């Protein structure tokens, strides 16, 4: 019985370390009138969906002003998904990721296939303005609270079994 409890505790501890969210540092410049020129965002992702990861949080600055998100961009159907690449970068699809800039209003970053690059728009033009430089840093693993609780449960089980053997 003790061996079974110990094995269960080890398995639970192993599962706890595998559930993680990730954060991505996204920096870009757009250089267009009325739009932020320098943007530094931290995108937090959650569950996998449609081959990508749902963006569950956006923090950072646009020209020094704090931004927030994600948002549903004017009901445009943006999916707020990002797709990690094998080399530590990310891709954003044509549906885009929406966020709010208090100085400008709702903004959308999206991939514009006809131009072969990323654009940003406020939704009032026929198309957005080209993002001139775009970089994304490798993800930093962030443990989720439920995973930490599961890890703690596994550790308590290990100590309980050990205490019973002494």
- C-alpha 102/C-alpha 98 separation (Å) is 13
pTM of the model: 0.66
pLDDT value, residue 68: 93
Residue 144 Ramachandran class (φ > 0 left, ψ -120 to 50 alpha, else beta): beta
- C-alpha 122/C-alpha 34 separation (Å) is 9
* 8 Å CB contact between 32 and 129: yes
- C-alpha 78/C-alpha 74 separation (Å) is 9
What does each C-alpha distance from 6 to 14, 136, 150, 155 come to in angstroms?
12, 42, 15, 10
pLDDT value, residue 126: 42
- C-alpha 97/C-alpha 74 separation (Å) is 12
**Per-domain residue ranges of the chain:** 1-19+144-161, 20-143
pLDDT value, residue 9: 47
pLDDT value, residue 57: 92
- C-alpha 38/C-alpha 25 separation (Å) is 13
| Of 58, 1, 48, 49, residue with least CA distance to 24 | 58
pLDDT value, residue 2: 53
pLDDT value, residue 37: 76
Torsion 103-107-111-116 (CA) sign: negative
pLDDT value, residue 34: 64
Q: What is the pLDDT along the chain (166 residues), one digit of tens a residue?
A: 555 544 544 554 444 444 446 888 888 887 666 677 788 888 888 888 888 889 999 999 988 889 999 998 877 678 898 888 776 678 888 888 999 988 888 888 888 888 778 888 887 654 566 676 767 665 556 666 777 777 788 888 888 877 777 6
State the residue for tokens 């891709």.
91
């Amino acid at each position: 019985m003790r061996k079974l409890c110990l094995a269960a505790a080890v398995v639970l501890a192993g599962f706890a370390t595998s559930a993680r969210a990730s954060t991505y540092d996204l920096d870009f410049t757009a250089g267009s009138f009325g739009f932020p020129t320098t943007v530094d965002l931290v995108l937090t992702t959650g569950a996998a969906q449609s081959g990508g990861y749902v963006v569950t949080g956006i923090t950072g600055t646009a020209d020094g002003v704090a931004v927030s998100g994600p948002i549903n961009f004017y009901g445009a159907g943006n999916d707020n998904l990002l797709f990690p690449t094998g080399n530590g970068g990310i891709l954003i699809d044509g549906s885009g990721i929406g966020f709010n800039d208090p100085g400008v209003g709702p903004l959308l970053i999206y991939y514009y296939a006809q131009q072969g690059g990323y654009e940003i728009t406020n939704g009032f033009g026929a198309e957005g303005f080209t993002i001139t430089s775009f970089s994304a840093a490798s993800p930093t693993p962030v443990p989720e609270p439920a995973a930490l609780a599961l890890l703690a449960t596994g550790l308590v089980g290990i100590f309980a079994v050990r205490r019973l053997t002494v």
